[in-house]
Amino acid sequence: MSELLDLVGIFVFALTGALMGVRKRLDVVGMLVLSEITALGGGVLRDLVLNVPPAAFQSLGYILTPVLATVIVFFWHPHVTKVLPAIMVLDAAGLGLFCAVGTEKALTYGLNPLHACVLGVMTAVGGGILRDILAGEIPTLLYDRQLYAVPAMVGAALRAVLFEVHLQGWVTTLAAATVAFLLRIAAMRRGWRAPLAKGVRPQD
């Protein structure tokens, strides 16, 4: 079940990477690179820090799912763009899932709660950062419009707190993921964003 949820999150993240490739007028190879790096980059970085074999290289499904997403976007990107609002909802679900799962894995490997939260957030947003850098964009994490990193931080922190009070298992992971998901959805609908420095006006 957990691997299936992982693959769903990977597929949605991969779609956003491939769509970035379309917007940047990249060829199919460039689209595939952005798709793979968006979907798998955060988890690979987490596992490298934990000094364990990256999960992305333990199953063919992790590599092939972004290939499928790239093929879909390559042939039908106008249709995919039309359902982008639904994709963004799924993206929020992937964000919540990855931040919770990443934090749990880090805690399981003995990291303290703070460091585990950092790795949980990295799992959720690391691929997007790498995608933006490769595409020549300022990473959206640096001007967190509509709160992307903050929900991941909240979800990771909640998962760490539950772990510390000895509440473990998939139910607690799902609870933390759900909180991050709902916060992200609320931010998208209400236009919430992280505060700027005092006296600095937001750009339109």
pLDDT along the chain (204 residues), means of 10: 76 91 93 95 93 89 94 92 86 91 92 95 93 88 77 95 86 92 92 79 67
Residue 195 lies in a domain: no
Evaluate whether residue 50 is within a structural domain: yes
Q: What is residue 204's predicted lDDT score, i.e. its pLDDT?
A: 55
Report the pLDDT value the prediction gives residue 179, as an integer from 0 to 100: 96
Between vectors from CA 46 to CA 127 and to CA 126, what angle results, nearest 5°?
A: 20
Question: Residue 7's domain spans which residues?
Answer: 2-190
pLDDT of the residue at 50: 94
Q: Is residue 201 part of a domain?
A: no
Phi and psi at residue 71, to the nearest 5°: -60, -45
How many domains are contained in the chain?
1
pLDDT of residue 167: 83
What local confidence, expressed as pLDDT, does residue 116 receive?
Answer: 96
Asked, for residue 197, whether it belongs to a domain, the answer is no
CB 62 within 8 A of CB 149: no
Query: 167 vs 19, 145, 160, 161, CA distance in Å?
Result: 39, 33, 10, 9
